[in-house]
């Protein structure tokens, strides 16, 4: 259990809230909707998402080690299944559910 | 509020809900895990409950448990929060236009803009006749509700829960793969997707799992800035 006082805990949590909200609100404060957004920032707004989605996938997989354990094979197979299902049916829920069930079966029964 | 307004709000809810079903699975699982983790670390359920309502950012909330268990250091907590959440800067820049003209809802949309709500609200094809502001509001609110209820229940039940759900966390990976793919299929050129992929993998290899996000973001920003001319000339992003 923690050694902090309640006030110290509240301040610590408040700092986490403050840091989070600073990052979420900052772009909207800097580029208000009254003034036109600079072209460079408009460009970033269009160019960033694809790069960010790639980054989020890598973020989810950051603890996968291809050299040891299951060598990331359950992840690889399941992601390929997600891609295959999605290109085939283009049904978001089906692709996600299919890949997740595949992954759970693989790590619970195949790569034990 | 008029009858027409109410039916608009309801229609937006029905349109938004299916998009959030995978998040329900993922957030309940991760939220429960987080609540249980707090519970076994000696905190009452009030902590995960209030922290999931106010911070609403999964990875930082897990880190915050360690902060609360350590010595009091508010500056360290603040800088750590800034670093872990820095990617939200990118989300905000991407949503500047989409959150326009959403009235008071804009503040909540920004407040609740986690990875998942951003990803859905950025890519979802909102059907004709559905109010965009309310659609995005419901996506954000439902996602937060899933996280909030999961972590509160986890905090209440603690280690009483036994899991046979090993691997369920993959639902988040699968969702980001689908969202990435949707974006990929929409674009004619894939330069920015490649930049994101190469930068993240490179930084992961160089800096390791705990420290690669900030270098990745710097690298992405540098590549997009230096490559602006050719990328814009090639065009093709949605």
- Say if A76 is an interface residue toward chain B (CB within 8 Å): no
Spatial separation of the C-alpha atoms in residues B230 and A76, rounded to whole Å: 32
Most B CBs within 10 A among A34, A37, A43, A58, hence the mutation to make, goes to: A58
Is A68 part of any domain?
yes
Gap from A46 CA to chain B (nearest CA, Å)? 6
Per DSSP, helices labelled H in B112-234 are 115-123, 132-157, 170-186, 191-207, 213-226, 228-234
Whether residues B85 and A27 touch (CB distance < 8 A) is answered with no
- Say if B68 is an interface residue toward chain A (CB within 8 Å): yes
| pLDDT-based confidence at residue A1 (cuts at 50, 70, 90) | low
Task: Say whether pLDDT at A105 is over 60.
Answer: yes
Of all residues in chain B, the one with the smallest CA distance to A87 is B181
Of all residues in chain A, the one with the smallest CA distance to B51 is A13
Q: Which domain holds residue A90?
A: 63-112
| pLDDT-based confidence at residue A92 (cuts at 50, 70, 90) | confident
Residues of A in contact with B187 (CB under 8 A): 50
Residues of A in contact with B91 (CB under 8 A): 24, 52
Mean pLDDT over residues A66-89, rounded? 95
- Say if A96 is an interface residue toward chain B (CB within 8 Å): yes
Of all residues in chain B, the one with the smallest CA distance to A5 is B72
CB atoms within 10 A of CB A96: 28
Is A97 part of any domain?
yes
Residues of B in contact with A55 (CB under 8 A): 87, 196, 199-200, 213, 216-217, 220
pLDDT the model gives residue B227: 94
Which residues does B117 contact at the CB level (< 8 Å), separation at least 6? Answer: B136, B139, B140, B143, B144
pLDDT the model gives residue B45: 93
Number of H helices, E strands in chain B: 12, 0
pLDDT the model gives residue A34: 77
In total, how many domains does chain A have? 1
DSSP character at residue B70:
S
pLDDT the model gives residue B50: 95
Is A12 part of any domain?
no
Mean pLDDT over residues A29-58, rounded? 89
Whether residues A107 and B166 touch (CB distance < 8 A) is answered with yes
Is A14 part of any domain?
no
pLDDT the model gives residue A20: 96
pLDDT the model gives residue A32: 81
Is A48 part of any domain?
no
pLDDT the model gives residue A3: 78
What CA dihedral angle connects B115, A46, A25 and B126, to 10 degrees?
Answer: -60
Question: Residues B61-97: pLDDT tens digits?
Answer: 888 988 898 889 999 899 889 988 989 999 999 999 9
Q: Which of residues 6-35 of A touch B (CB under 8 A)?
A: 8-9, 11-13, 15-28, 31, 33
pLDDT the model gives residue B164: 62
Is A100 part of any domain?
yes
Here the ipTM equals 0.90
Mean pLDDT over residues A13-22, rounded? 96
Spatial separation of the C-alpha atoms in residues A13 and B67, rounded to whole Å: 9
Spatial separation of the C-alpha atoms in residues B37 and B151, rounded to whole Å: 9
Of all residues in chain A, the one with the smallest CA distance to B222 is A44
Tokens (6 digits) for B63? 């880190």
Of all residues in chain A, the one with the smallest CA distance to B175 is A96
Whether residues A27 and B93 touch (CB distance < 8 A) is answered with yes
Whether residues B68 and A104 touch (CB distance < 8 A) is answered with no
DSSP code per residue over A94-112: HHHHHHHHHHHHIIIII--
Whether residues A61 and B85 touch (CB distance < 8 A) is answered with no
Taking the CA atoms of B76, B220, A50 and B101 in sequence, report the sign of the dihedral they define: positive
pLDDT the model gives residue B115: 92
Is A102 part of any domain?
yes
Mean pLDDT over residues A56-69, rounded? 91
- For residues A1 and B141, the model is more confident at B141
Which residue positions in chain B have pLDDT lower than 50? Answer: 238
């Amino acid at each position: 259990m923690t050694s902090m006082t309640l006030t110290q805990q509240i301040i610590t949590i408040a700092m986490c809230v403050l840091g989070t909200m600073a990052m979420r609100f900052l772009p909207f404060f800097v580029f208000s909707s009254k003034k036109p957004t600079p072209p460079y920032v408009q460009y970033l707004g269009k160019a960033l998402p694809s790069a960010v989605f790639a980054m989020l996938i890598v973020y989810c997989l950051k603890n996968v080690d291809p050299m040891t354990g299951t060598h990331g094979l359950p992840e690889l197979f399941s992601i390929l299944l997600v891609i295959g299902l999605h290109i085939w049916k283009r049904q978001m829920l089906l692709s996600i559910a299919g890949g997740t069930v595949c992954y759970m079966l693989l790590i619970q029964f195949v790569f034990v | 509020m008029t009858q027409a307004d109410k039916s608009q709000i309801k229609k937006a809810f029905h349109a938004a809900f299916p998009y959030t079903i995978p998040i329900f699975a993922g957030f309940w699982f991760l939220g429960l895990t987080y609540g249980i983790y707090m519970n076994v670390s000696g905190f009452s359920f009030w902590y995960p409950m209030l922290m999931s309502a106010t911070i609403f950012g999964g990875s930082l909330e897990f880190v915050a448990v360690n902060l609360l268990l350590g010595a009091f250091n508010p500056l360290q907590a603040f800088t750590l929060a800034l670093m872990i959440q820095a990617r939200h800067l990118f989300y905000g820049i991407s949503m500047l236009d989409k959150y326009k003209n959403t009235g008071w809802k804009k503040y909540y949309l920004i407040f609740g803009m986690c990875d998942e709500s951003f990803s859905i609200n950025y890519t979802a094809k909102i059907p004709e006749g559905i109010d965009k502001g309310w659609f995005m509001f419901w996506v954000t609110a439902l996602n937060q509700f899933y996280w909030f209820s999961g972590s509160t229940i986890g905090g209440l039940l603690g280690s009483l829960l036994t899991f046979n759900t090993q691997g369920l966390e993959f639902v988040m990976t699968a969702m980001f793969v689908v969202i990435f793919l949707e974006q990929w299929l929409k674009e004619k050129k894939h330069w920015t997707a490649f930049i994101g992929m190469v930068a993240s993998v490179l930084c992961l290899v160089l800096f390791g799992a705990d420290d690669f996000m900030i270098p990745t973001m710097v690298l992405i920003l540098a590549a997009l800035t230096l490559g602006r001319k050719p990328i814009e000339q090639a065009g093709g992003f949605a």
